[in-house]
Amino acid sequence: MTSPAFYAAYANILVSHQLQETLRREPESLRSLYGLTADELVLLSSASPRSLHLSLHMLQAKRVVLLEQMLPQTLKLLQEHDAGRTLFEYVADAMRRPDVDMLRAVTHGHDFVAWLDRRVGWLPAGVADLARLEVAVAGLPPVSTAEGCEEHPAAEALGTKVFPELLPGLCVITVGCDILGLPARPSLADLSSIEQRPGGVLLRRDARSGRPACHRLGVITARLLSRCDGRSSLDAVVAVAGSTPSARRDAREVLHRAAQQSLIRLLPAPLGVPVLDQP
CA distance 265 to 151: 9
Q: Are residues 179 and 224 in the same domain?
A: yes
Are 90 and 108 in contact by the 8 Å Cβ rule? The answer is no
Asked if residue 70 belongs to a domain, the reply is yes
pLDDT interval class at 153 (50, 70, 90): low
pLDDT interval class at 149 (50, 70, 90): very low
Q: Are residues 191 and 123 in the same domain?
A: no
Identify the domain boundary among 139, 171, 190: 139
pLDDT interval class at 98 (50, 70, 90): low
Q: Are residues 159 and 260 in the same domain?
A: yes
Mean pLDDT of 199-203: 97
CA distance 114 to 128: 8
- Cα dihedral 164/167/173/174 (nearest 10): -30
Task: Give tens-digit pLDDT for 173-185.
Answer: 999 999 999 999 9
Asked if residue 275 belongs to a domain, the reply is no
Which residue, 225, 141, 134, is CA-closest to 180? 134
Q: Are residues 248 and 184 in the same domain?
A: yes
Q: What does the DSSP 8-state code read for residue 173?
A: E
Residue 90: partners with Cβ closer than 8 Å, 6 or more residues away: 112, 115, 116
- Bridge-partner residues for 276, per DSSP? 232
Asked if residue 31 belongs to a domain, the reply is yes
Q: Are residues 130 and 99 in the same domain?
A: yes
- The pair phi, psi for residue 168, each rounded to 5°, is -55, 140
Mean pLDDT of 113-142: 94
Asked if residue 277 belongs to a domain, the reply is no
Q: DSSP strand E in the chain: where? A: 163-166, 171-175, 199-205, 212-217, 264-267
Q: Are residues 116 and 212 in the same domain?
A: no
pLDDT interval class at 145 (50, 70, 90): very low
pLDDT reported for residue 55? 86
Identify the domain boundary among 106, 139, 172: 139
Q: Are residues 115 and 201 in the same domain?
A: no
pLDDT interval class at 198 (50, 70, 90): very high
CA distance 274 to 278: 12
* CATH for 248: 3.90.930.60
DSSP assignment of 221-273: HHHHHHT-BSSB-HHHHHGGG-SSHHHHHHHHHHHHHHHHTTSEEEEPPPTTS
CA distance 165 to 232: 9
Q: Are residues 133 and 159 in the same domain?
A: no
Weakest mean pLDDT among 25-39, 101-115, 140-154? 140-154
pLDDT reported for residue 235? 92
Q: How far apart are the first and last CA of the chain?
A: 42
Domain count of the chain? 3
Are 115 and 127 in contact by the 8 Å Cβ rule? The answer is no
Are 124 and 77 in contact by the 8 Å Cβ rule? The answer is yes
Domain that residue 185 falls in = 155-267
pLDDT reported for residue 148? 47
Counting residues of the chain whose pLDDT is more than 70, the rounded percentage is: 86
Mean pLDDT across the chain:
87
Q: Are residues 131 and 162 in the same domain?
A: no
Asked if residue 222 belongs to a domain, the reply is yes
Asked if residue 178 belongs to a domain, the reply is yes
Asked if residue 55 belongs to a domain, the reply is no
pLDDT interval class at 100 (50, 70, 90): low
Q: Are residues 184 and 252 in the same domain?
A: yes
pLDDT reported for residue 207? 84
pTM for the whole structure? 0.80
pLDDT reported for residue 161? 82
Q: Are residues 118 and 164 in the same domain?
A: no
pLDDT reported for residue 159? 57
Q: Are residues 175 and 247 in the same domain?
A: yes
Q: Which residue has the higher pLDDT, 15 or 242?
A: 242
Asked if residue 8 belongs to a domain, the reply is yes
